[in-house]
Amino acid sequence: MSQYIISTANLISHRVTTYLGIPIFIFGVIGEFLNIIVFLSLKTFRQNSCAFYLTIMAMVSIGYLFTDLLTFIMMYGYNIYWTKQSRFYCVVREGFAHTFMLIALACLCLAIIDQFLATCSSPRWQQLCNINLARRLCLTFIVLWFLYGILFFISYDLVTDISTGNSNCKVINEAVKQYLKIWHVLIFLGVLPLSITIIFGYLAYRNVKKLSYRTLPLVRRRLDQQLTVMVLTQAIFSVFTITPYTVINAIILDPYLTQDPIAKAILYSAGILSIILLYSCFASPFYIYICASERFRHQLVFVLYKMHLQRWRRRNVVIDFVISQH
């Protein structure tokens, strides 16, 4: 019976990784590219601090999906371990994956805080929502998290087990391993972003209900309302995707649970599912935006069709006309 439970849990892990991981990767990369195109094509977004945070998050999320999710799919879906085949890939993948994830979470938190400030009644708080400050904050966090990421570059290595001859990409320092389990996973990837998301998300929601009564320019009010709806919807989704990952990693810290083979297999399967949910947090923003905001859907159509497709067609017509003249 116990062997059946263990094999079933392993099968579920394999199926979840294959059938959910691949669509999340494909649609996530496509969606983030579309986000970047829309945010960079419209002047209203280019000059807005919140949209700037979302743009940087989209760029970093693409790097995260390629460095981490793609390798994860190959490992747990097809038993192809790139990290075991190359020491360089082992170190680079772990270093960049964790750094990209931290930068993306920082941008999400900054976007939520930005919308809280933008929807405040005090003009003094609203002045903090400017593109110059957003650029400086993003640069600061990018540099900060890359410096922090050095820890992963120097802590991971390809270690060969002498008794079995198998190689594994893992942390070589036991003290660093304990630090990553508790502080990095539970605090930096769990409690801290969840706390900021919930607190400032609630405050922004409370502010936006009063936004329509303020004497703001119509364009500014509509943009604030649109971005607030987009960011708050993404914040709610992020809470539901990050929480299981945090809870499972907190449970795994209990050494008694991992000693039981059945409990270990179930936790392993639950851990795989929680990681897939976590990946969806960085793959879903575009689809959240088009579902939450009708205005964003119109902007997407305008950017893709009016701005880029018709411009491409006019360019081709001009080229054909020039060639025909010769």
Q: 44-54: string of b/e by CB count within 10 Å (b at 16+)? A: ebeebbbbbbb
The token pair at 93 is 């993948």
Q: Would you state the pLDDT for residue 119? A: 84
Q: Tell me, what's the pLDDT at 320?
A: 43
Tokens 């790097």 locate to: 63
The per-residue pLDDT for 189 is 92
- 221-263 pLDDT per residue, tens: 677 778 889 999 999 999 999 999 999 988 887 777 667 777 7
Largest Cα separation within the chain, whole Å, is 81
Torsional sign, CA 71, 74, 79, 85: negative
What mean pLDDT comes out for the span 53-69?
96
**pLDDT value at 77 more than 70:** yes
Give the pLDDT confidence score for residue 155 in this predicted structure: 92
> Measured in whole angstroms, how far is the alpha carbon of residue 219 from the centre of its chain?
29
Cα–Cα distance for residue pair 194/111, rounded to 1 Å? 14
Q: Model confidence at 197, in pLDDT bands (50, 70, 90)? A: very high
Let me know: does 172 contact 155? Beta carbons within 8 Å.
yes
Which residue, among 215, 193, 192, 195, has the nearest Cα to 203 in the 3D structure?
A: 195
When pLDDT is averaged across residues 299-306 and rounded to a whole number, the result is 89
Sorted by where each begins, the domain ranges of the chain are: 1-292
Beta carbons of 61 and 32 less than 8 angstroms apart: yes
Question: Is residue 254 classed exposed, middle or buried when 0-12, 13-18 and 19+ CB atoms within 10 A define those classes?
Answer: exposed
Contact yes or no for 171/153 (Cβ under 8 A): no
Query: How does DSSP assign 171-229, residue by residue?
Result: ES-HHHHHHIIIIIIIIIIIIHHHHHHHHHHHHHHHHHTTGGGS---HHHHHHHHHHHH
Query: In this model, does residue 323 exceed pLDDT 80?
Result: no
Q: Record the tokens describing residue 222, joined without a space.
A: 């509509």
The dotted CATH code for 1-292 is: 1.20.1070.10
Structure tokens at 15: 């199926």
**Residues 121-164 pLDDT 10s:** 888 888 888 999 999 999 999 999 999 999 999 999 988 877 77
Please answer whether residues 25 and 44 qualify as being in contact, where contact means their C-beta atoms are separated by less than 8 angstroms: no
Alpha helix locations (H) across the chain? 2-16, 22-41, 43-46, 49-64, 70-78, 82-85, 87-118, 123-126, 131-155, 174-179, 192-208, 218-252, 255-259, 261-283, 285-292, 294-301, 310-325
Q: Which two tokens stand for residue 210?
A: 């009063």
pLDDT band at 264 (very low <50, low <70, confident <90, very high): confident
Tell me: pLDDT of 216 over 60.
no
Q: State residue 156 phi and psi, 5-degree precision.
A: -90, 145
CA angle 210, 105, 301 (to 5 degrees): 65
Indicate if the pLDDT at residue 16 is higher than 60. yes
Answer yes or no: is pLDDT of 321 > 70: no
- Looking at the chain, the whole-number percentage of residues with pLDDT higher than 90 is 54
